[in-house]
Structure 1
Amino acid sequence: MNITKAIASPSKFLVQTDLLKELGTHGKVFGKNAYLICDSFIVEQVKQKAIPSFIGNTSAQIGVFGGQCSDTEIEKHKIAALDFDYIVGIGGGKTLDTAKATAHYLVKPVLILPTLASTDAPCTAISVIYNDDDTFNRYLFLSKNPDVVLADTQILAEEPVRFFAAGVGDGLATYFEARACYKAQKDNLILGQHGSMLKPSLIGFTIAKTCYETIKLHAAQAVYAVKNKVVTPALEHTIEATIYMSAVGAESGGCAAAHAIHNGMTVVDDLHGAQHGEKVLFGLFTQLVMEAVPKHEFQEVIDIAIAVGLPLTLEDLGLKEFRENEWRKVAEIACDSNDTMHNMPFTVTPEMVYSAIVATNAMLNDYKEKHYIHS
């Protein structure tokens, strides 16, 4: 039996200050006219810094992102971008996923400039599609990774600390999920030519591990750069980990329980205000409980989370009341056959997930009480 292992990544990844001012220069190789899908808060900066970089016979038009990466939003931008040469996404994860999906359906090149280092969205060939009510819908597997990803370190240094921390939370899960997939030789997130998923590669797993080691070394120091809106080497290293290594490590190494539990958690109304990476972190803690990892490994993840200011418990995430039926639904969704829970190296049932969620939250609450940590 032939087993295909694979790695996927953007064609080009740049880390530099003030890349927004060079957007037109990096895009002109793809054509004359760019359609820019932008978060509303960055539109004025784009007009002032990016639009002047479209010189000569090049031009750009801005389309403002509506707030949700849904089929409705993607369709809106598909219509607007029909006559443009290439697509650019500028903003947070959902904005970038919308830009990638729009380019995918129109079969056009896509450039990505993240304003947050909070998810894997900038580099992957996947768009996470939500329903208009913010609940998870599906993973949309794209024909290719972004053509260019521009990590403007000054913009990323100015992101809210909470979003930076959420990126660390998402990045922390990369190694542990890839480890589970690699151990079991289950699927990564790369779609093969016949529609089947491919297997984790050694290089994908190694990048995932390097992502964790980089975060462990630099994230606690990097958070002070973000708090003061300055660029430091520690921040640059962490950005490379949370944007590139986390994405390539997850896509090529595979996801497992942490992200599946996150997807289940999207049905809990109280948690709609929580960031993707915050919920993924709780999913990671739950995965570690299901794996019965050594205490020092669990402790190390807690220490990193606390150092960057991440929430730990469900109450920290915004849960007002724990309702058993609601969390059993979370566990059921997390074990959906189309999600990544099946990548764990053992059979997982909704009952196991529910029990692990309850135990995880109790452990984290107890840890906070013993160490006098306040929300």
Structure 2
Amino acid sequence: MEPLALTSIVQSRLWKSTEKIWPNSIALSAKSALDMTSSPLVSPPPLKRRRVSLPERPCVAISSDISDPGEHGVSSRGSCPPHALRVFSWNVNGIDPFLPDNTPKITTFLSSPPQTEKPTTHQSIRASLLDWSWPHIVCLQEVKIAPTDIKTQAAFKRQVNTSLAVENDGDHDGESPQDHHYDVHFSLPRDKYNATGFGGKVHGVCTLVRQDLPGVKIGTVKWDLEGRVIICEMTTDQLAVINVYAVNGTMYDYRDPESGKVIGTRHDRKRSFHTHLCNEVKAYEAKGWNVVIIGDINISRSSKDSFPQLRLGEAHVRNRADFERKFITELRMVDTFRFLKRDERKYTYRPTNKPWGEGGDRVDMALVTKGLSSRLEDADMLDTEKDRGPSDHVPLYISLSAQSGDTPTWRRTGKDN
């Protein structure tokens, strides 16, 4: 067959393919483009969508002991009364599954590519925000981004605020012009001795703050170099929300962050982490503030919080007792889930190496200072296999009402929820 005849056949097949899947006006433009080229491998031009760049709330130091992160580097589940402040938390076990796949896929209109990839079953982070009815603050743990990886940080920020219609090629009508956008803040590991595995892609926390939430300041603490703590201060309400990925106690060495000298084990570091965190809470309470600690605490408080059984090794028992004494007995903080749900059994850690339901631990928690217990509207977790998504943890949340007689600042912006 002559080359020109082959080209005509290929163009004809391409044109017939476009007629089936494109609107007439677009298909006509595509046909014109095909007619203008002699290449047999020309594919239709992609649709262009406009991305909107959103202003971001700057990070600032929020106390003498807190440093700026910039220095280093619709189902209404979880819904609540409209005047409640809603805070979600999720250990995502790595941010990569929530980023768009930028790898070009090889395909033609003449044959279908082989189906070698497993279909994804999780939602995008934007879809989760919509599903959760746009919470005011979202605390993520174990994002696993290297502090030097500016590209991934920027990609996630875009993903958080990318319209679902754009993300799904115009195939999602759940959003409206009144839906919310978020500022995205990271605290990533910068400890050159204790957080170096996987090229620095370990630990890391991220806090999303709705852009209509006023009077917010964001910062990290000087005593954490592993990317485990980020604080969101709501200055007009004198409320601090501390996003925490607490140390997991092990017998591995813990080294002095300055000298690199071994000064104990990760169990020792876990208990000193408790002490530092308690001191932060005490400092806020001393100036009349309320505090929420939310995130992966890496402690199961009792046998009600573990299945099939609680970890009873000597070091774990000691860590548990240390947590109870410092946070529950001395600070009199309230475990919000136990406060409202009493003896109900639910678990936030759900291992992926077992069938769903064959194991779990409630190691993620929301603790509030005693002044907030009367304002607690709801506290729960989305304990389902679907909600676990690509992680090995499920999300949890709390809802707080305004103080009696007050109009909450999160409702003074003209938007609902």
Under a length normalisation based on structure 2, what TM-score does the superposition of the two structures give? Answer: 0.26
The structure with the greater share of residues assigned to helix is 1
Task: State which structure, 1 or 2, has the greater radius of gyration over its C-alpha atoms.
Answer: 2
The structure with the greater share of residues assigned to strand is 2
